[in-house]
Structure 1
Amino acid sequence: MRAAIGGGFLLATALATLAPAQETTGPAAASAHPYVGLWVTEDGQVRHELLPNGRYDEARGSRESAYRGRYAVTGSHIEYWDDTGFTADGDFVDADTLHHGGMILRRRR
């Protein structure tokens, strides 16, 4: 998109190059994958909820919402960007098993 003012074209061009080729987060992308829902460790200490809006909310022990942030799923791989700044990832082994941060979480229905 060309802007009428000289610097506007350069800014529009620069912003266009920063835009991702394909959206991997947000409501449309999150609801498109089959992993939305609650994931829990066997001992119940970690409860990890993947929300349909591309956000996650993780409880640890008695700490509800211990970690929150956004996530993106590509195939069976998940990437996390926590609101505090750290990143993590994991892999869905099957429809009911998530390996994340050295833990095994199972889908809770």
Structure 2
Amino acid sequence: MTGTVEGDQVDVVGVWATADGHIRQELLPDGRYDEARGERASAYTGRYTVAGSRLDYVDDTGFASTADIQDGVPYHEHLVLYREQKQS
């Protein structure tokens, strides 16, 4: 499942993960994110912004990174992230 486009912005709120599930990012509606790596919950936390097809991250230590959103899918550095289906 991909992100949805609202106006010029892509809706990225939700949980995104690599194909193997090792990296999971929860992008929250308030502009915060929480990233798990393997069994390590909250390995990275910080804030994010979306501008057009660009997703900018700044973690709580000040490290910054970006993702390009192509067809609603974030390509974060060398990773491709897929939206996880919501559990009912």
Same fold? TM cut 0.5 = yes
Residues 31-85 of structure 1: per-residue CA shift (max 9 Å, x gap): x751111110000000011100000000000000000000110011011110012
Residue 102 (structure 1) aligned with residue 78 (structure 2): yes
TM-score, scaled to structure 1:
0.67
Distance of 2:12 and 2:71 partners within structure 1: 10
Report what 2:49 is aligned to: 72
Query: More strand by proportion, 1 or 2?
Result: 2
User: Alignment length, in residue pairs?
Assistant: 77
Moved over 2 A (4+): none
Which of 3, 11, 15 aligns to 1:34? It is 11
CA-based RMSD of the aligned residues comes to 1.2
Query: More helix by proportion, 1 or 2?
Result: 1
Q: Which has the higher contact order (CA 8 A, sep 6+)?
A: 2
Where do 5+ consecutive residues of structure 1 fail to align?
Answer: 1-31
Distance of 1:93 and 1:33 partners within structure 2: 10
Distance of 1:39 and 1:59 partners within structure 2: 10
TM-score, scaled to structure 2:
0.82
Q: Percent identity of the aligned residues?
A: 52
Report what 1:19 is aligned to: none
Which of 27, 33, 39 aligns to 1:50? It is 27
